[in-house]
Amino acid sequence: MRIHIGTDHAGLEFSTQLQHHLASQGHEVVDHGPIEYDPLDDYPAFCIRAAQAVVRDQADGLETLGVVFGGSGNGEQIAANKVPGIRAALVWSIATAELAREHNDANVIAIGARQHTFEEAVSFIDRFIATPFSGEERHARRIAQLAAYEQDGILLPDPREAAPRPDVLDASDSFDPEAG
């Protein structure tokens, strides 16, 4: 499997170790940066490039996923999710790594490199890579709704729009503070 990774200065050391780990597992690793430590670098371009590569590879029929990380993983997840076709999940446990794939068919995960040991983070990444999407109808339906919104901005109808609304001024439903 091809694995695209992107980080910032906070995850640079982690990135180097991760590349070796993933390659030793037989994965093709594509690093989207950074290539050197710069405490003032910015994660968006690195993470967006990794996410764009995942979308391109998936469109070409390649088996591919992405991993983005930084200090907390939050900004990196936000950046990756700006790319149409990406479903990036912030992962902080084995369970969230599994659910990201099983229920959401996430194609990118974000991890806080300063929040976990290398061993913990690698266990999340390995589980994410090994877990298939369940394909259950309810999950596929929800993912399709997200993709449709991403494409045309249309949501399913709001069920509250069709429901009758109570008349708050209706005297028959008045409040009596003495009724106790």
Catalytic residue annotation = 76, 103
DSSP 169: T
For residue 21, which of 133, 131, 132, 121 has the smallest C-alpha distance? 121
DSSP 133: P
Q: Evaluate whether 78 touches 48 at the Cβ level (below 8 Å).
A: no
Distance of CA 168 to the CA centre of its chain: 42
User: How far is it, in rounded angstroms, from Cα 119 to Cα 141?
Assistant: 35
For residue 14, which of 116, 92, 87, 90 has the smallest C-alpha distance? 116
Burial 22-37 (b: 16+ CB within 10 A, else e): beeeebebbbbbbeee
